[in-house]
Amino acid sequence: MTRLAVPKTYKLYIGGKFPRSESGRTYEVLSKKGVFLANASLASRKDARDAVVAARAAVAGWSGATGYNRGQVLYRIAELLEGRRDQFVEELVSSEGITKAAATKQVDTAIDAWVWYAGWADKYVQVAGNGNPVSGPYFNLSTPEATGVVAIIAPQGGDSLLGLVAVIAPAILTGNTVVVVASEASPLAAISLSEVLATSDVPGGVVNILTGSPKEIAPWLAGHADVNAIDLAGAENLDWVDLQVIAADTLKRVLAPVAGAPAPSLERIVALTETKTVWHTKSLI
């Protein structure tokens, strides 16, 4: 008797849970050779709104954690990703049509990126902050703090796992929460990463991952009044100038598109923070 295969239908990752799209829509994920791999949820405007609500609810707890604690959480993600290394390699080979060696290099680089950013979690404030010179008996201190809810369009070309990690890690290590639109053509790595996040120490709502069409979802995220910043890293094939104009209506911080996965950098960490300056009187004793 011939056994029929049971195709997978993957869900979204919102608020630490795996809901179906409220629209009920899905789309086929195909290999580079056109072979069916799975069904993925096609996120809607309502799903994007739900993800923003979940991200906002998580801001206070996540930004209120110590940098040291957030660093431990990011390192835990790297540990779990290392444990599922072979699975990610296999998924990248099938979905991106790359060699096993190239897929292995991408997974290892993604793991290393989590570790690299984890190390910065309790150190970036000392580097990006400052004691400002003033004329008078005062201390004037500037320190970077989380922006809040960050919407992200992940890189849409190759390196679907590395591109995703490269935009999520620097955003959340400072205390931001994120709503990410994954690679439309190669979402399997994002779906598997959401499973890693769900079994790690990341609180629900800190990372929310949507699969589907960036062209459909990006304008709603850019115009959402409860989104504080938007990273257009993977929006190079969209009308990203129009997205910037939409974002300007709600005074969002905007990061421009980049080619490929952004390299790890302190600049990318600080780009999604706000500087708070405090005055304090010097003791006269």
- With bands split at pLDDT 50, 70 and 90, how would you rate the model's confidence at 71? very high
Domains of the chain, earliest start first: 10-281 (3.40.605.10)
Q: What angle do CA 170, 232, 142 make, to 5 degrees?
A: 45
- Average pLDDT of the segment spanning 26-39: 93
How far is 101 from 96, CA to CA, in rounded Å?
13
Instruction: Give the contacts of 274 (CB within 8 A, at least 6 positions apart).
Output: 144, 145, 146, 147
The tally of CA atoms less than 13 A away on the side-chain side of residue 244 is 12
Single pTM value for the model: 0.93
How far is 122 from 118, CA to CA, in rounded Å?
8
How far is 152 from 255, CA to CA, in rounded Å?
9
- With bands split at pLDDT 50, 70 and 90, how would you rate the model's confidence at 284? low
The burial class, CB within 10 Å (0-12 / 13-18 / 19+), for 210 is buried
Count CB atoms within 10 A of the CB of residue 131: 10
Query: Which letter does DSSP use for residue 234 in this model?
Result: T
Name the residue among 183, 166, 176 with its Cα closest to residue 236: 183
Cβ atoms 130, 209 nearer than 8 A: no
* Cα 81 → chain centroid: 15
Q: Where do we find the tokens 């431990």?
A: 72
Write down the mean pLDDT value for the chain: 93
pLDDT, position 226: 97
Q: What angle do CA 78, 160, 6 make, to 5 degrees?
A: 95
pLDDT, position 5: 79
Over the stretch 151-204, which tens digit does the pLDDT of each residue have? 999 999 889 999 999 999 999 999 999 999 999 999 999 999 999 999 999 999
Instruction: Give the contacts of 120 (CB within 8 A, at least 6 positions apart).
Output: 71, 173, 266, 269
**Coil, strand or helix at 254:** strand
